[in-house]
């Protein structure tokens, strides 16, 4: 018997990668700082393009951005940014690439202050998952008061490409928010 997935499941245009992401990563609690930074970059890169495209290019991003190591990315200079702008395997948008670099620097400052980015991020919920227990995909917001609060705090700390809509998607992507439908077998 086929397992039931959230009925939005990528607008009927599901790929193997998007289904795997839905089934194994989306809305699943993530606590590894490296992956929390990686998802921050990927969500920022997604602005204005489809998530399916980001997933198709994810391995290229991981290679181009040195495995999303924030310490390494924080040291990128104009030469490295120029290389990334010529890399056809990723989204070649100067603002987004520069945001990944400045976000790495802000990320490291948060780690220094809180001990980990994980402690900072999950501190907003006391370490608990926000589970909206959705029965209808139309009830899923693009943003909410919580994502606006996290967005404001990130912006205050110097992060870029972290508006409330991107942050809401990020919070889903790292499992702080669980928006799997209640009848989804991958909750």
Phi-psi region of 69 (alpha: psi -120 to 50; beta: other; left: phi over 0): beta
Q: Catalytic: 122?
A: no
Q: Catalytic: 43?
A: yes
The single residue of 43, 76, 122, 170 carrying the catalytic annotation is 43
Q: Which residues contact 6 (CB under 8 A, 6 or more apart)?
A: 22, 137, 179, 180, 181, 184, 186
Q: Catalytic: 153?
A: no
The single residue of 35, 51, 148, 153 carrying the catalytic annotation is 51
Distance CA(29)–CA(180), nearest Å, equals 13
Token pair recorded at residue 29: 């609690």
Distance CA(122)–CA(40), nearest Å, equals 14
Q: Which residues are catalytic?
A: 21, 43, 51
């Amino acid at each position: 018997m086929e397992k039931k997935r959230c009925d939005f499941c990528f607008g009927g245009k599901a790929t193997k990668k998007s289904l795997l992401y839905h089934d194994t990563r989306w809305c699943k609690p993530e606590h590894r700082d490296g992956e929390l930074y990686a998802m921050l970059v990927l969500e920022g890169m997604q602005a204005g393009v489809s998530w399916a495209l980001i997933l198709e290019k994810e391995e290229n991003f991981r290679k181009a951005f040195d495995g999303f190591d924030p310490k390494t990315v924080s040291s990128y200079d104009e030469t490295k940014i120029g290389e990334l702008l010529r890399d056809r395997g990723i989204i070649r948008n100067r603002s987004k690439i520069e945001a990944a670099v400045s976000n790495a620097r802000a990320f490291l400052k948060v780690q220094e202050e809180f001990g980990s980015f994980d402690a900072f991020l999950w501190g907003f919920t006391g370490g608990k998952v926000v589970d909206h227990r959705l029965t209808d995909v139309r009830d899923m917001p693009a943003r909410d008061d919580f994502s606006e609060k996290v967005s404001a705090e990130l912006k205050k700390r110097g992060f870029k490409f972290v508006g409330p809509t991107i942050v809401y998607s990020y919070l889903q992507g790292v499992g702080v928010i669980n928006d799997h439908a209640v009848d989804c077998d991958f909750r």
